[in-house]
Amino acid sequence: MIGRLVSLSGVAKRYPTGTLAVQGIDLDIGQGDFLALLGPSGCGKSTLLRMIARLAAATEGRIDWPAGPPRPGDIGFVFQEPTLMPWATALANVALPLELAGLPRREAAARAAEALARVELAGFETAHPRALSGGMRMRVSIARALVTRPRLLLLDEPFAALDEITRHRLNNDLLALWEAERFTVVFVTHSVFESVYLARRILVMAPRPGRVHAEFAVEAPAPRGEAFRTSAGYAAQCREVSRALAAAMGEAA
Amino acid sequence: MTGRDRGLRILAPLAIGLLVLLGWEALVRLRGIPPYVLPGPVAIAEALVRDWGPLSASLLVTLKITALALLIAASLGLLLAVLFAQSPVLELSLFPYAVILQVTPIVAIAPLIIIWVDDVTLSLLICAWIVAFFPILSNTTVGLNSTDHNLLDLFRLYGAGRWQVLWRLRLPTAMPYFLAGLRISGGLALIGAIVAEFVAGTGGNASGLAYRILEAGFQLQIPRMFAALVLISAAGIGIFLALSLLSHLLLRRWHESAMAGGDRR
């Protein structure tokens, strides 16, 4: 870990309805880290992610950025759904963050085209979202999140709605992008297999109220690939994380 | 949709229409119904050709008022909806009055408007505008408020200003709703114009199609009355088709509503 990018201390979120979504979260996210937040539905994973993105405010505790607060474009966010503007082409969707930042249209388009090429969508610049498959839409969404070269990439169960084959491909593509560029990733998922395959660190969360139940460091050869997915080490770690997840859910019940 | 289906979609209603017209003409001729009670399609067509001069002039008057009313309704409706979306307080305070404007029958207030407003054209315009305004306002307001909340979050994340959110996100989202409202309002503007012309025409000072109907009625020239009626229907259909085409052209690349017809890519 080179340095801390984001530090959470004693973070809690209570909704106006009185529901306590998360409580007592202490967490350091290191620069270049790949962190998975794993837990059942309703354990506050998404809430935590939104607080890190500053889309929601913590009602208790602090979220610090030791190297300076994020500016627009420092955080990329990938939602559960591709969340594209249906009226805009793939290129225009990806160029949006740059244009909102006031970049000249031509420069924004050039960088957006480059980002689309990085997610293997070169040639689809003029396609509208509805003409693309679910997996391709998600790639557009990832390209949009990466186009500003963010310091932190937040993903909220991005591949949950995709079929397994597409999900595996996108997992590998995300890993390849991360290996190449080493941005910091926080990845929310409810899949044990996905978290072990992707993340360097896994935080298992327990629900009601959402809190950190256990933390794991994943041991794996670099770079990871399909060989890791079928290895004994992978299976063993999945078992271990699974047990922790079951315990986290049992503890809540 | 196959070519055969598409052909059927045009041919079937055409055949029904032709049958009805034939039956109508046969009924009128066989029963010897006088034209001042019920003219046959042929007599109506003759009247349409014979009186094309004054009828087409009246059609133009009515169409002009309809189009102008629709244009004003569309721009004001859009503008007000945008203001509503920017300020919920404004929406809360003004929306009930828009509803009142909508539910008050135009037939009841048209006489007042015609009395209050000296200029006939202006009074007709106001009547047509009143009925055409609400669907656009209401639809566009719903559209502006239906913005995907994740997209709103995304815009916030990238520090978008209010204007950027409006221009790049809310307005495009509202576009299909606005266009649907426009299609409803197109027909309503015509009805509003006709109703107002009827009221004004009773006073003898108007020149639109409704006035022609009244005039023909007074003179017992029933075929001519029907001819004016045919023109009104044709104008309504024309407006609807034109607005549907506009909507299709603007939305066909991305919105489900414009996708029917098998041009999926």
Output the domain CATH number for residue B92: 1.10.3720.10
Q: At what angle do helices B41-50 and B3-31 cross, to 10 degrees?
A: 100
> Are the C-beta atoms of B223 and B35 separated by less than 8 Å?
yes
B213 and B133 co-located in one domain: yes
| A166/A130 same-domain check | no
A residues 5-34 closer than 8 Å to B (CB): none
Same domain, B144 and B96: yes
Interchain pair A100, B255: CB under 8 A: no
| pLDDT one-digit tens code per residue, B32-60 | 999 888 999 999 999 999 999 999 999 99
For residues A54 and A161, membership in a common domain is answered with: yes
Q: What is the pLDDT of residues B200-257, one digit of tens each?
A: 876 555 688 998 898 898 899 999 999 999 999 999 999 999 999 999 999 988 888 7
- Asked if residue A46 lies in contact with residue A20, where contact means CB atoms within 8 angstroms, the answer is no
- DSSP of A123-171: T-TT--GGGS-HHHHHHHHHHHHHTT--SEEEEESTTTTS-HHHHHHHH
Residue A210, strand partner residues: A22
Residues B56 and B172 in one domain: yes
Over residues A19-62, the pLDDT tens digits come to 888 888 899 999 999 999 999 888 889 899 999 999 999 899 99
Question: Where in the sequence is the domain holding A51, given as residue range(s)?
Answer: 4-70+152-252
Same-domain status, A177 and A235: yes
In a domain, B94, yes or no: yes
* Domain assignment of residue B3, given as a range: 1-33
| One domain, residues B175 and B126 | yes
Structural domain tally of chain B?
Answer: 2
Residue B254 to residue A129, Cβ atoms within 8 A:
yes
| Amino acid B107: pLDDT | 87
Q: Do A214 and A196 belong together in one domain?
A: yes
Does residue B263 sit within a domain? Answer: no
Residue A119: name the closest of A82, A88, A160, A81 by CA. Answer: A82
In this structure, are B11 and B56 located in the same domain? Answer: no
Using an 8 Å CB-CB cutoff, list chain A residues near B159.
71-72, 100-101
Which of A132, A150, A168 terminates a domain? The answer is A150
Residues A97, A128, single domain; the answer is yes
ipTM entry: 0.90
Substitution target from A52, A85, A105, A144 for chain B, most B beta carbons within 10 A: A85
Residue B125 lies in a domain: yes
